[in-house]
Amino acid sequence: MTWHCKARGGYSYTSNDGYDNMAEMCSKLMLDYGWTLEACCGMLGNVAGEGGLNPWRWEDDNVQSYSSAQTTSKGMGLIGWTPARKYCDPTNSFFPEWNLATFRGYGPNFSDRQGNRLDGNAQTELMGKCMTGRGHRNFWILGRSDIFGNTYNVRAEDFIEYTDVGDAAIVWLWEAEYPSSIHPPNDPTRTEQTRKNHALNIYQIMIDHGFTPSPSHDLNKNVIIYKRIIDQLYGGM
C-alpha cells in the first residue's frame, strides 16, 4: 500500500487510489490507536465528502501559497482542517502539544511549495492523537446539536470503539466536521444521509479487501445465522 495525492480533485472510494489511502488510514488508526474498523469507516464516509480522500486537497481546489495558507479561512486536507493553519502551521495554537513537523510524512502542499507525498500519514497521526479521552478541545466538539435537535456528547475514547458504521458516520459529522453544506434547521444537500451511505459502502469495500469487522459485529452476525438454523430445524418455534 502507498499514499496517493495530487494538487486538485479527490479520489473516489471505489478507485484503487482511493482504496489505498483508506487502507493506510484504517491500518494506522486500528493498529496504533485502537480504532474499530466500523469507527474508521464512519470517519471515512465523511472524509470522502470533505477532502475526497486526497491529503493535498484544498477547499474549492483553490491551492494556497505558503504565506496565504497562514491567514486564509479556507480548509484543506483529508478532513478539511479549518482554518488551514490548524495543520499548515506545524506549531500552531490549536495543537500546542505537538510539533506537527515531527510527524512522519508531514508536508502540506502549497501552490509555491510541493508537499510531502506521505502527508496523509501525518494527518492521520494527528487525528489519532486528538481522539483520546474526551477528545481534543479544538478538534472533537461535544454538545453540538443536529438539525433535529439531537445533541451529541460522545467522548472520543468511546467513538473509536463504535461497532455501528452508520452511527459512527453521523457522530463524526456533527462532532468533528459540521460542514457548511448543512444550514440548520435544514440539510438541503442531504449531507447526513449521503455521508452515512458513503460510510456503509466503504465498510463493505474494506471487508471485501480483507479488513476484519469488530468482534461484536461478528457476534451479531453469528447470532443471526444461528437463529436461521434453529428456525429451519424447528420451524421457528
**φ and ψ of 138, to 5 deg:** -105, 15
Which domains does the chain show, CATH number per domain?
A: 16-234 (1.10.530.10)
Q: Does residue 188 have a cis peptide bond before it, meaning omega lies within 30 degrees of 0? A: no
How many C-beta atoms surround the C-beta of residue 205 within 10 A?
18
* Biggest alpha carbon–alpha carbon distance for the chain: 72
Non-local CB neighbours of 141 within 8 Å, separated by 6+ positions: 135, 175, 176, 178
**φ and ψ of 77, to 5 deg:** 90, -175
| pLDDT score recorded for residue 180 | 82
Q: What is the pTM of this model?
A: 0.89
> ∠84-41-82 over CA atoms, to 5°?
10
| pLDDT score recorded for residue 214 | 87
Q: How would you write the pLDDT of the chain (237 residues) with one tens digit per residue?
A: 689 999 999 999 999 999 999 999 999 999 999 999 999 999 999 999 998 999 999 999 999 999 999 999 999 999 999 999 999 999 999 999 999 999 999 999 999 999 999 999 999 999 999 999 999 999 999 999 888 889 999 999 999 999 999 999 999 999 999 888 888 888 999 999 999 999 999 999 999 999 999 886 544 444 433 344 445 444 544
Of the candidates 151, 154, 99, 91, the one whose C-alpha atom is nearest the C-alpha of residue 125 is 99
**φ and ψ of 144, to 5 deg:** -75, 145
User: DSSP letters along 29-64, please?
Assistant: HHHHH---HHHHHHHHHHHHHHTTT-TTPBGGG-PP
Q: Which residue has the cell 478539511?
A: 80
